[in-house]
Amino acid sequence: MHALAQIENWPVPTAAAALVRADGTVVGSHGPSAHRFPLASVTKPLAAYAALVAYEEGAIELDEPAGPEGSTVRHLLAHTSGLAFDEHKVMAPAGTRRLYSNAGFEVLGDHIAKAADMPFAEYARQAVLEPLGMTATTLEGSPAKDGVSTVDDLVRFAAEVQAPRLLDARTVVEAMSVVHPALSGILPGYGHQKPNDWGLGFEIRDSKSPHWTGSSSSPRTFGHFGQSGTFLWIDPDAGWAGGNNTGAACVALTDRAFGQWAIDAWPPFTDAVLAELRS
């Protein structure tokens, strides 16, 4: 994948990237793929996946109360609990606004820890990281933003999401489907989006503009980016040359905080990756 080499032109000290097919085949990697990077909010999809395992195991229900009055696990995962961005403060009734909330994921982590009778980081390790062989990944601290991982490990996670083994495929379809359609809100770094669609722990591209993915990314693309200069996207409709395969995921990790450099670099990078798949 020559397109992945574009990360060498990014104004960052260290960067690594990889592309993985829906069948789990890594078709390209560039940079130090075993280097451990702070994930920032790319932690959230990992935490969400652990929550979905807890749901399938019967430890929690998606529609059981969690967080502020009227809020459920589903609300917390979809950023509609009404909690503020970084404060345990209620800003709106549950289900009425898309308020991106680190606090909501911290409440979610506490809720799962109580249900599982173990710290959330340990539950996530047992439920997700260990089964997938993500031995370089830790989720200590906030389940919203304190994960540390490698490209090698996140490729394993991206393969799992595209072809689930830990979850029923129907649960993953639900996770990548819009929860509470038509809600508007702020997409951090990209301003007000109407609608600001979200699934269960995954942001959904839809028709958002501006956006951190590419202009050729399909509306069904979902994933997350982080303020530490990291992203993971999964495009179920990404086409491959020959037309025999669809679906791909891309991971890119850096050690420079998100800023204008990322706004400028990430969309053309994604478009180049997608174009190379089709060529």
Q: 164 is written with which tokens?
A: 């689930």
Select from 106, 109, 73 the least CA-distant residue to 89: 106
Say if residue 1's pLDDT is above 90.
no
Tell me: the pLDDT tens digits for 86-122?
999 999 999 999 999 999 999 999 999 999 999 999 9
Classified by CATH at the fold level, domain 2-278 comes out as: Beta-lactamase (3.40.710)
User: Is 243's pLDDT higher than 90?
Assistant: no
The whole-number pLDDT of residue 278 equals 87
The DSSP H or E segment spanning 170 is helix 169-175
pLDDT above 80 (res 124)? yes
Task: Tell me which DSSP letter residue 49 carries.
Answer: H
Residue matched to tokens 């560039």: 30
Over range 171-199, report the average pLDDT: 96
Residues contacting 253, CB < 8 A, separation 6+: 15, 16, 17, 35, 37, 39, 149, 150, 151, 154, 229, 230
Which tens digit of pLDDT belongs to each residue from 53-69? 999 999 999 999 999 99
pTM: 0.97
To the nearest whole number, what is the mean pLDDT of the chain? 96
pLDDT at 246: 83
Q: Which residues contact 32 (CB under 8 A, 6 or more apart)?
A: 14, 16
Region 250-271: mean pLDDT is 98
Exposure string for 202-235, b = 16+ CB within 10 A, e = fewer: bbbbbebeebbbbebbbebbbbbbbbbbbbbbbb
- Sequence letter at residue 47: A
What is the three-class DSSP state of 232?
A: strand
Q: Is the dihedral of CA 77, 81, 82, 88 positive or negative?
A: negative
